[in-house]
Structure 1
Amino acid sequence: MEVLLEGSHYIPKHPEKNINYYRCILIQENSARIENIMNKGDPSVVLYHKFIITGFLSCKDWGQHHSLLKKLSGLKSFSGSKLYYSYYDYMDAFEKVLFYQNKNFDHSWFLVFDKKFHGQIPSWFLKWWEMFGPVPQIWLEPLQDTLRYFNSRLQFTNHNSQFLVILYMTSRYRIHWISMRNYAIQDNLLNREFSVKWWDNLKIDPIISQIHKDFPLPVQRNIAPVTRS
């Protein structure tokens, strides 16, 4: 692990592009909040992080081209000069900030969409979801049943038909989950292993009730027989 920056388990494209760089991008664009959850017994130790997705900036909103640079406020380079970022850096930021790791290799992320989240999910977010998003198998059985019901009632557009239904249900109803990462050696190569698990404190009954309220079954009306005189 000597080739990796301390706490940042990825190889940066540039020495300045550390986790703090990507974190500042997401905060500046109002796309995520990151909270440190500290150990009450030892306030210097981070138990885990919360990653709260608040929104996405679209390619159209960015400007003429993805490589168009914006100035990063609140952070300067090692030499004290200004730092800049492109839309490519913005996309990378969602992934890179979650590559933080502690010395014990047991760090976890509490992930959730903000309650005010709205707007269109970009296509490039699929890559992030494949690495960090939950899978139905970790959900409790009643919530899995509700996912199948949600799938049967949701009306797809051309854009959102490319995404898994679980992504829409998770983002719309703020279903929390936990993401972790570790390493394994396979064929003499060091590979990242991503895993997710259920958050035991999540109350699912209000979620299930709200989904059935938002997507009720159609009312079947009895048609009276027509009699001819």
Structure 2
Amino acid sequence: MIFLLENSDIQRREEPWKIFQRYLLNGLFFPGESYKTRKYYETLLISSGVEFQHFAGYNTAENVYNFSKMIIKQIIHIEDWGISSMTERQISLNGVKMSFTYWDYIQAFDKVLCYNNERHKHTWFIKVCAKIFANPIPNWFLNWWSYHGPTIKILPEPFLKLYKEWVKISPDLNRLYQQEHISYLQQIEQICFFIEFSVPWIHKWVPEEQIPCLYRSYYNNFWDKLMKKDPQTKSIYGQELLDQITATIKEYKSIPNKGIITDESVTVKHMARRISNHDEEEQNKMILDYLEEVKKSLLLNLNQYAKSDSSMRSEASEDMHEAQQIEDEDPADTLKRAEELLAKLKEKA
């Protein structure tokens, strides 16, 4: 929701773009402090590891964009911000020093995308770099993704086919499913895929009036250039990315113990989480694979315990035999040694 409408606007049922003009400044598409413009949020993100590029169309002013790029190279965790989330950092906008907190930083990822041109045709090219995987992804960013990020529904067949292979063997996913709490469980596999391989997407938004509120609806599409042929190489532009995903899958398959059970600490609950995100046919196959591996693991452990018990019984038998030999010593010999010892003691006395 952007904001609640007043009765006068509800009765008029004006076109949503015109409602913006009644409530906000021209070119501003979100409420808030007047000095915290979209440019303010863009500037603070640039200072924090996000790259922007804007492209104007022909016969348009320089500050009127047809499309823009946003490349996320870094995500700052609250632990890395400072003593408090309210600790202020500084930026310079048009020569004026301005401050921002961690909460401004979080809001910036949403509000920086609230640009549109006069024709309402602006789109964003968005890509998240894989190196943000160096640390766990914050929950607020996963929430941002639920609005602005894509799902595998946008993937063309060559990418979707590789995704289905990758999701079964990704070591990062295996480790993730062993955690006690997983946010956005239904989307986490898809989010990880887009980030690990930096798969870009096209993003846009439009306002929608749903009495008594003005909402923002988001749309995400695959960057179709990746599926177009390069006239020079005769290959599609996305072939290098497809090759990278294929090589990664091959590398993961070469890792030993690549079965569905990758760690003895994996519980039934963790496996259920992992299996639940697949369709019914895939779920049945994964359940059968899981049961087969449980069976192999049980047989292997039974065999090891059997060998261990056999070895222990053998050692115990030998110890008993040696102990019995001491107890079975001839009493006459024992008495003779005792008499000899007493005789020596008398001589010394």
Residues 1:177 and 2:193 aligned together: no
Match of 1:214 among 236, 239, 251: 251
Aligned-partner Cα distance in 1 for 2:224–2:55: 17
Q: Contact 2:51/2:73 (CA < 8 Å) preserved in 1?
A: yes
Distance verdict in 2 for CA 1:159–1:114, change over 3 Å? farther
Structure 1 segment 75-86 matched on structure 2, within 5 A: 75=93, 82-86=97-101
- Give the C-alpha shift of residue 65 in structure 1: 1.3
- Give the C-alpha shift of residue 122 in structure 1: 1.2
The higher radius of gyration belongs to: 2
Q: 105-114 vs 49-58, which deviates more?
A: 105-114
Superposition RMSD on alpha carbons, in Å? 2.5
Distance verdict in 2 for CA 1:115–1:165, change over 3 Å? closer
Aligned-partner Cα distance in 2 for 1:55–1:176: 16
Give the helix-richer structure, 1 or 2: 2
Distance verdict in 2 for CA 1:118–1:159, change over 3 Å? farther
- Give the C-alpha shift of residue 188 in structure 1: 4.7
Structure 1 segment 45-124 matched on structure 2, within 5 A: 45-72=64-91, 74-75=92-93, 82-114=97-129, 117-120=132-135, 121-124=137-140
Q: Contact 1:131/1:194 (CA < 8 Å) preserved in 2?
A: yes
Aligned-partner Cα distance in 1 for 2:24–2:134: 35
Aligned-partner Cα distance in 2 for 1:60–1:20: 26
Q: Counterpart of 2:153 in structure 1: which amino acid?
A: Q
Give the strand-richer structure, 1 or 2: 1
Distance verdict in 2 for CA 1:91–1:214, change over 3 Å? farther
Residues 1:10 and 2:30 aligned together: yes
- Give the C-alpha shift of residue 19 in structure 1: 0.9
Distance verdict in 2 for CA 1:162–1:188, change over 3 Å? closer
> After TM superposition, where is structure 1 displaced by more than 6 Å over at least 4 residues in a row?
none
Q: Contact 1:55/1:119 (CA < 8 Å) preserved in 2?
A: no
Match of 2:219 among 195, 204, 210: 195
**Identity across matched positions, percent:** 25
Q: Counterpart of 1:142 in structure 2: which amino acid?
A: P
Structure with larger RCO (C-alpha < 8 A, sep 6+): 1
Q: Counterpart of 2:251 in structure 1: which amino acid?
A: D
Aligned-partner Cα distance in 2 for 1:100–1:159: 39
Aligned-partner Cα distance in 2 for 1:55–1:108: 22
- Give the C-alpha shift of residue 210 in structure 1: 2.9
Residue deviations 1:45-68, cap 9 Å, x none?
A: 422000000011111111121111
Q: Contact 1:181/1:193 (CA < 8 Å) preserved in 2?
A: yes
Aligned-partner Cα distance in 1 for 2:190–2:248: 13
Q: Contact 2:124/2:202 (CA < 8 Å) preserved in 1?
A: yes
Structure 2 runs not aligned, ≥5 long:
1-19, 227-237, 258-349
Residues 1:29 and 2:48 aligned together: yes
Residue deviations 1:64-93, cap 9 Å, x none?
A: 211111222x2268xx5x311100001111
Q: Counterpart of 1:39 in structure 2: which amino acid?
A: G
Q: Contact 1:110/1:178 (CA < 8 Å) preserved in 2?
A: yes
Count the aligned residue pairs. 214
- Give the C-alpha shift of residue 145 in structure 1: 2.5
Q: Contact 1:56/1:119 (CA < 8 Å) preserved in 2?
A: no
Q: 35-44 vs 1-10, which deviates more?
A: 35-44
Match of 2:56 in 1: 38
Distance verdict in 2 for CA 1:41–1:215, change over 3 Å? farther
